[in-house]
């Protein structure tokens, strides 16, 4: 793409958050979308829809359509709706809860079986601020991520540590250029082209 290209470079992707209840999925989204941490968060029922855009180098805007999900086991029957057509998934575990890593691994297996073949998955250990209560070693989770070809991050929604990183690293892996090219080749541009992020007035429902 040349610099004098009149059409802004814009791509949009579906991102789904998965992981056991209370690992901090909604808190991670909230940190990413609002850059704040709310100690008083209600548990998510069903799903919550949010959006956030980020700017990449060479003037590219990437908009994430975020599907924040409820974590309880019984929502499994709704899960295909969550991850179908998802371009990327943030699978969250809580570094202070060993069992939550197992649950994350199960989600990853399901995604590898059922979701888009080219889905980008980021295994994300949350609550890094609770280092003293850590039950999952960085090495163990990281090794699993390497073995399965996943992105790996440790973050804290509370302090904000590493949160932006997760989404920027995902964006790097997404077929941004491909989507922009296909948009260009269509006669009509996407109607939401260049639309500012909607998260300023439509926020988290979690």
Partner 1 sequence: MADKKRTPSGDKKLNHATSMPNLHKKLVRPVSANRNPDTSRKEKELPSLPKLRVDGRHLSAVPRPQTFRPTGSGQSTPLKTSPVRHQPKLSISESVDSYNLSVIDMYHDAASIVSPTTDVFQSLMKLGIHGYEDDFTDNYSSSSVSVADSPRPRVHADDFHFTDHSPSRPHFTDQSLTNLPYLFPSPTNLLFHQSQSNHILHSSPGRLLGSHSTLSLLSSRDSANIIRNSIELSKTSLSASRDRYGFKKKSQFVSEAAYNAWWSDYSKYLVRRKRKWELLMKQSGLTYEHDAPVRFPARSEKVKRYIRKGIPAEWRGHAWFHYARGHEKLAQNAGVYDAIVASTIDLHNKDTEIIERDLNRTFPDNLHFRSDETQQQRETETPLVQALRRVLVAFSQHLPTIGYCQSLNFLAGMLLVFMDEERAFWMLVIITQKYLPGVHDLNLEGVNVDQGVLMLCIKEYLPEMWARIGLGLDGEKLTDGNLLVRLPPVTLCTASWFMSGFIGVLPFETVLRVWDCIFFEESKTLFRISVALFDMVSPEVTQIRDQMEIFQAIQNFPKKIINPNELFDHCFKKRNGIGHYLSQEEVNKCRDFVSKQRRSHAENAKMYVLDGEGERLYDFEHRKGLNSVAWNKNLTLKMKRLRKSD
Footprint of ligand GDP on this chain (CB under 6 A)? 19, 21-27, 39, 41, 43-44, 71, 126-127, 129-130, 156-158
Bridge partner residues of 12 (DSSP)? 63
Give the C-alpha distances (Å, rounded to integers) separating 142 from 22, 95, 111, 133, 160: 21, 12, 18, 18, 20
147 makes contact, choosing from Mg ion, ligand GDP, partner 1, none, with CB < 5 to 8 Å by partner type, with none
| Residue whose CB is less far from ligand GDP, 156 or 179 | 156
Residues 89 and 114: beta-carbon distance below 8 Å: no
| Residue whose CB is less far from ligand GDP, 47 or 171 | 47
| Residue whose CB is less far from ligand GDP, 14 or 25 | 25
Alpha helices in the chain (DSSP H): 25-34, 79-83, 98-114, 138-147, 163-173, 176-185
CA distance linking residue 22 with residue 141, whole number of Å: 19
CA distance linking residue 52 with residue 132, whole number of Å: 32
CA distance linking residue 29 with residue 35, whole number of Å: 9
Does 69 help bind Mg ion (rule: CB under 5 A)?
no
Does 188 help bind partner 1 (rule: CB under 8 A)?
no
Does 187 help bind partner 1 (rule: CB under 8 A)?
no
162 makes contact, choosing from Mg ion, partner 1, ligand GDP, none, with CB < 5 to 8 Å by partner type, with none
Q: Is 50 helix (H, G, I), strand (E, B) or coil?
A: strand
Does 44 help bind Mg ion (rule: CB under 5 A)?
yes
Sites of contact with partner 1 (CB under 8 A): 21-22, 39-51, 65, 67, 70, 72-75, 77-78, 81-82, 84-85, 191-192, 198, 202-205
Sites of contact with Mg ion (CB under 5 A): 25-26, 44, 206
């Amino acid at each position: 793409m040349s610099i004098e290209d009149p059409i802004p470079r814009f791509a949009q992707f579906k991102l789904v958050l998965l992981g056991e209840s209370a690992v901090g999925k909604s808190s991670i989204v909230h940190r990413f979308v609002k850059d704040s941490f709310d100690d008083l968060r209600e548990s998510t029922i069903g799903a919550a829809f949010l959006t956030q855009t980020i700017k990449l180098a060479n003037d590219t805007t990437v908009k994430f359509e975020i599907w924040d999900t409820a974590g309880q086991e019984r929502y499994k029957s709704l899960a295909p709706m969550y991850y179908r057509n998802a371009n990327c998934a943030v699978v969250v575990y809580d570094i202070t809860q060993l069992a939550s890593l197992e649950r994350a691994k199960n989600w990853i297996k399901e995604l590898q079986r059922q979701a888009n073949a080219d889905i980008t998955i980021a295994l994300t250990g949350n609550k890094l601020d609770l280092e003293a209560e850590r039950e999952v070693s960085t090495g163990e989770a990281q090794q699993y991520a390497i073995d399965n070809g996943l992105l790996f991050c440790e973050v804290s929604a509370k302090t904000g540590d590493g949160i932006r990183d997760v989404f920027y690293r995902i964006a790097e892996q997404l077929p941004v250029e491909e989507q922009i090219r296909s948009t260009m080749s269509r006669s009509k541009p996407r109607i939401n082209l260049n639309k500012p992020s909607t998260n300023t007035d439509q926020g988290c429902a979690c």
